[in-house]
Each structure stands twice: as C-alpha cells, then as structure tokens.
Amino acid sequence: MSATILDGKKIGEEIRLAVAAEVQGLLSSGYRAPKLVAVLVGENPASEVYVRSKTKTAAALGVDSATLRLPSTISTADLLEEIRQLDADEGVDGILVQLPLPSGIDTDRVLEEVDVAKDVDGFHPVNVGRLALGQPCLTPCTPAGIIEILVRSGVQIAGARACVIGRSRTVGRPVAALLLNRHATVTVCHSKTHEISSVTREADILVAAMGRAGFVKGEMIRAGATVIDVGINEVRDGRELERFYEGEELERKRGVIEQTGRTLVGDVEWRSALCVAGKITPVPGGVGPLTIAMLMRNVVDAYRRRCRV
Amino acid sequence: MSATILDGKKIGEEIRLAVAAEVQGLLSSGYRAPKLVAVLVGENPASEVYVRSKTKTAAALGVDSATLRLPSTISTADLLEEIRQLDADEGVDGILVQLPLPSGIDTDRVLEEVDVAKDVDGFHPVNVGRLALGQPCLTPCTPAGIIEILVRSGVQIAGARACVIGRSRTVGRPVAALLLNRHATVTVCHSKTHEISSVTREADILVAAMGRAGFVKGEMIRAGATVIDVGINEVRDGRELERFYEGEELERKRGVIEQTGRTLVGDVEWRSALCVAGKITPVPGGVGPLTIAMLMRNVVDAYRRRCRV
C-alpha cells in the first residue's frame, strides 16, 4: 500500500485563482486593488528570495505590492517609525516584516508595532491571542495552509486525534490552535517529549514541524494517518538522499542535485512513511505553495475588513 | 493505595503570605500600596460574592482595592469609557472586570479595552497571545494557580504527558499553554474527543476543567497520575453524593449539605479516583484557594512592572 500524495501545488493554485477572481471582482466594481508592503531589512539572500516570490505572486493575482528596503544598520526605534508610517498609510492593507531581522533589532517589539488589522502574517500578539481564543483573526499563513490542505483533501478534523511535532511560534503553536478550534483532540510534542513514537502513533493527523530532516519514520506513523510535512531541509550530497528516498524518487532527487546543486527534504522520512501513511504531503510541493497563497488570502481579507467591501 | 491529597488551602496561604510580605516591604521602603479595582456590572449574586472575596483578600494582604459598581443597564460604550478612566488612572495597578457581564454587553470588546499592563485576569488578547508565544505576560489566575500547585507539590512537568480536559478561555486553553511552556507534552481533550478514556489514561498530569460533576472516573486515570480538579459543581441533594463519595467523606459532605443546604463537588469522581491517582486536589480546597492568591500575585507584579520597583 502506498499513501495518496497530497498535491500542495494544485491546492495552492486553486486558492490563488480564487483570490485573483476576487480581486478582479473588486476592481470591476470600481474599488482599488488591495496592497501589500513587504519590509526587508538588511541583505539576507534567503529573505530576498522569499520577498521577491511574495511580490511576484501578488502581481500575478492583481494585488499591488511594494518592498520597503531598509539597511541592516537601522535602529529598532527607526524601524518602528517606518512601521508606524505604514500603519498610518490608508492605501496599505497588509504589512509583512520579513524575518529574521538583523540581530540587535527587537523583533517582538517590531511585530507588536504592526497594525493588528494589517498584520497579514498573523504574528501580532493580538492576532495570536484571538487565534488562541478561537476568535476571528488574521491567521499565520503556513498553519492556515495546512488546514486548507486537510479540508480540501477530505480529511476529517473534528474528533480526529492530531499530533503536532514542534512548538514554534510560526507553525507548531498556531496550527495546534487551529486544529483545536476545529475540534480535533490535539497533542503538541517537542524535543522534551519522552517516547515520542508512542505519542505520534496515536495520531490520525500528524504534523511534522520541528525542522529535522527525516525525523519522522514510518514506524512513528499510525497506519492510514494523514501526514503533513512542514520541514524544509536542504541536502547537497546525493548520497545523503538514500536515507530519505529509494527507487525512482531517489533517482529524480539525485537528478535535481546534479542540475541545481541542492534539493529539499522534509521532516518526514519519505521512503518509510509512504508505506504507512494514508495521505502525505511531499517536500517540495506540499505545504510550501500554500504559504504564499494564504498570505494573498490574508491581504485580501485585511483589505475587505479595513475597507468594509 | 490512596492518593496524596494536595492541600490548595495551604499552598494558597503560602502565596498570600509571600505577597503580604512583599507589599509590606514596598510600604516600608516608602512606596504606596498596589491597588486593584474590581468592576462589577449589575447584580449577579455569585459575582457579588466573588468580588467581595477578592477585595477582602486584598485588604488582608495590604493591597488597596475598590469596587466600581455599575448598573446592568449600562451600554457597552459607557462601560468602555469607565474602563478607559481606570486605564488612565496612575494610582490603579490592576483592573478586574467580573464576568459574566450582562447580556447585551460586548464582553470581548470590554476585555480588550483594559490596559494590557493592568490586565490582572490575563484575559486581554495581547496577554493571551504572549502566553501562547511563551513570552512574559500577566497570566490567568486559575491556570497560574494550577502550575503553583504542581511545582510546590514536587510534580515534574517537563517531559511529563499532560492532558487537559476542557478548552475554555479561562482555564483549559491557558493551562495547556502554561504546561507546554514548561515542556510538558500536552493534549487537549473536549466534548468532541473520541474514546476519551484512552486519551486521559496516557496522562501523568490530568487537569479536569470541563465543568461536569464527576465526569473523570478512576478508570480514566493512569495509576499514580497527578489529578487536578478544576470543577466547581453544586450539589443540594445528599443522595446524589453517593456517586462521588463513600465512607467518612460521604458523611462529612452530607453534613455540609445539612448545615448549609449545599456542597461542592469537582469534575472528578473522588471515590474511584482516590484509589488510582498518585496525587489529587480536593473540591473545595484544591485549585479554588489558588485563584485569588494568584490574582493578588498579579496585582503586585503589575504594580512592580508599571512603577518599576
């Protein structure tokens, strides 16, 4: 038996198309386009790539966007002032502060300065709190994407046992809250969990989000469970791949390394998980494509709530 | 074998004494006393009792307090204005809005108006969010009291499997966050959980907080587990008590009903739980006494942070 592979690319595309249609509808009713501003501090190459990818997707969906580039030497106080200007700008609907910020900047303080109504990453404590309380809020994008994958793949959440491995602020904790709000029985595991296999094997829905390549092996998965792999780990050595893949998939991944010098693997050991899980997301092409799609969803939601359209 | 009974009265008293000593220290250093204001809207008899109990404890510890009584007919807008005045009052350190508010008042809106730094109930979304993020915050009193009982009774939290039954905003959700922040592996159960016994039996620490008299029976408890009973359910019929108690305890409880017309029982079936649990909190005299003690702790903490002393 081999698991059904959940196609995040396809689901992400569906959401992007729906958002694009919604923006088109707003424009043809005479409204302005929603606008996202990405705040990019310093010159982290990965952050550059992420921000470019977000503004590119925005453009494709008819969402206006701009990138505010600030030097890595900026003080927390000056960065706060920049955020306040974006907060005050009526034409800006979503503000995204690309993380990580340079060391020396008080990240928590900066995230708290973003207008709660424009906080499209869902990182402001008020949005985090509303999420924890089960109230309407702007929801972090990756966790929201995980819920979309589950719902659109027909996975029953209410009454299911869900296990989240990892308790990060951006993924583990918020996805646990979302699953709980949708009536799953939710367990959060982490580095201090004893006998983790016995915990993960209880789960109908297993979310791997601790950032350790291939940590979740087949024997840690309940037969037929849905496995959501949030890990994004880089592999540059083709020989390392044998831990994760076999057969055709191994050859394909090796080919990717040969062509591009690197490939991505998840927190789940694909090879052994595939024979046990009922449904599983691949890396890449699973949760990843949902994150930007849900960001766009949040920008349009923030716009509609702010402008009441 | 019979469980060790965790004495919440004694632990609450220890905390109250420590708070009183701290206030005394502040006064003798020439600082003013911390001040709590309770906002009491309408004439709910239970709320009257709770508020009186809180202000009485405050007085006993040297904490100033006042009760702002407002009519049940007050509008949300007028109540918000009252809260804003307390927010602006430099001499007020803690604001407590006694719940429930009369129907027709937007409770969420009111709780969000309380100054985050004076929110001694820990109900403001910013404090809820900070708790969910593992950041310093004012923590809801009953959940904070549960942690105190565990810590002061020598119960190991880090690495333990904890199960919380109930996902209320005031107890279930915040205590789950606190246990997770202290490195327990935490599962939240609720009315939609399937085969709940199999889930609760995994727990080293079991927190019963769903408000159903005697719901947790011995067979739902792992042998030797620590059981924290947050339920407060009123019983007026002595015959009903046979479900929960036996022997001397039954006679004692019956006596309470005869004398006062009522007694309290928890969410745990005491009779069957006592032979299985390793440690257990009684009702009353378990978690209850901690709630007001932790409120006082929060008032002094809020005062110290606000006044930087």
Are residues A126 and B129, on separate chains, in Cβ contact within 8 Å?
yes
Residue range of the domain that includes A117: 31-135
Are residues B199 and A180, on separate chains, in Cβ contact within 8 Å?
no
Q: What is the pLDDT of residues B281-297, one digit of tens each?
A: 999 999 999 999 999 99
Residue B302 domain flag:
no
Judge whether residue B225 has pLDDT over 80.
yes
Instruction: State the pLDDT at residue A1.
Output: 66
Instruction: State the pLDDT at residue B232.
Output: 94
Judge whether residue A20 has pLDDT over 70.
yes
Q: What is the pLDDT of residues A187-230, one digit of tens each?
A: 999 999 999 999 999 999 999 999 999 999 999 999 999 999 99
Give me the mean pLDDT over the B196-224 stretch: 97
The answer to whether B189 contacts chain A (CB < 8 Å) is: yes
What's the pLDDT band for B152 if we cut at 50, 70, 90? very high
What's the pLDDT band for A255 if we cut at 50, 70, 90? very high
Structure-token pair, residue B293: 């003690």
* Pair A276, A170 in one domain: yes
In chain A, beta strands by DSSP E: 4-5, 35-41, 64-70, 94-97, 161-165, 185-189, 205-208, 226-229, 233-235, 263-265, 279-280
DSSP per-residue codes, B226-253: EEEE---EEE--GGGGGGT--HHHHHHH
* Pair A201, A66 in one domain: no
Query: Which of A128, A133, A184 lies nearest to residue B133, judging by beta carbons?
Result: A128
Can you give the CATH number for the domain in which B174 is found? 3.40.50.720
Instruction: State the pLDDT at residue B222.
Output: 98
Residue A83 domain flag:
yes
Instruction: State the pLDDT at residue A166.
Output: 98
Give me the mean pLDDT over the B254-272 stretch: 96
* Pair A105, A170 in one domain: no
* Pair B74, B195 in one domain: no
Instruction: State the pLDDT at residue B236.
Output: 94
The sign of the torsion formed by the CA atoms of B155, B157, B161, B162 equals positive
Instruction: State the pLDDT at residue B99.
Output: 96
Q: What is the pLDDT of residues B21-63, one digit of tens each?
A: 999 999 999 999 999 999 999 999 999 999 999 999 999 999 9
In percent, how much of chain B has pLDDT > 90?
99
Residue B244 domain flag:
yes
Judge whether residue B241 has pLDDT over 90.
yes
* Pair A110, A58 in one domain: yes
The one-letter amino acid code at B5 reads I
The one-letter amino acid code at B121 reads D
d(C-alpha A167, C-alpha A173), whole Å: 5
The answer to whether B192 contacts chain A (CB < 8 Å) is: yes
ipTM: 0.94
In percent, how much of chain B has pLDDT > 70?
100
* Pair A209, A283 in one domain: yes
Q: Report which secondary-structure segment, H or E, holds B38.
A: strand B35-41
Instruction: State the pLDDT at residue A111.
Output: 97
Instruction: State the pLDDT at residue A71.
Output: 97
* Pair A164, A188 in one domain: yes
Give me the mean pLDDT over the A116-131 stretch: 97
Q: Measuring CA to CA, how many Å separate B153 from each of A64, B4, B146? A: 57, 10, 11
Residue A3 domain flag:
no
Query: Which of A192, A51, A293, A297 has its CA nearest to residue B160?
Result: A192
In percent, how much of chain A has pLDDT > 70?
100
Contacts (Cβ under 8 Å, ≥6 apart) of A267 = A165, A166, A208, A209, A210, A211, A212, A213, A214, A215, A216, A229, A230, A231, A233
What's the pLDDT band for A37 if we cut at 50, 70, 90? very high
Tally of domains within chain B: 2
Are residues B133 and A169, on separate chains, in Cβ contact within 8 Å?
yes
Can you give the CATH number for the domain in which A64 is found? 3.40.50.10860
* Pair B49, B178 in one domain: no
Query: Which of B125, B134, B194 lies nearest to residue A126, judging by beta carbons?
Result: B125
The answer to whether B169 contacts chain A (CB < 8 Å) is: yes
Judge whether residue B269 has pLDDT over 90.
yes
Judge whether residue B1 has pLDDT over 90.
no
Examine the fold and report which residue of A86, A107, A135 is the final residue of a domain before the chain moves on.
A135
Instruction: State the pLDDT at residue B25.
Output: 97
Q: Measuring CA to CA, how many Å separate B147 from each of A22, A99, A254, B150, B220? A: 48, 33, 50, 5, 22
Instruction: State the pLDDT at residue A271.
Output: 95
What's the pLDDT band for B73 if we cut at 50, 70, 90? very high
Q: Which positions in chain A touch B111 (Cβ < 8 Å)?
A: none
What's the pLDDT band for B65 if we cut at 50, 70, 90? very high
Judge whether residue A25 has pLDDT over 70.
yes
The one-letter amino acid code at A201 reads R
The one-letter amino acid code at A217 reads K
* Pair B73, B198 in one domain: no
Are residues B133 and A125, on separate chains, in Cβ contact within 8 Å?
yes
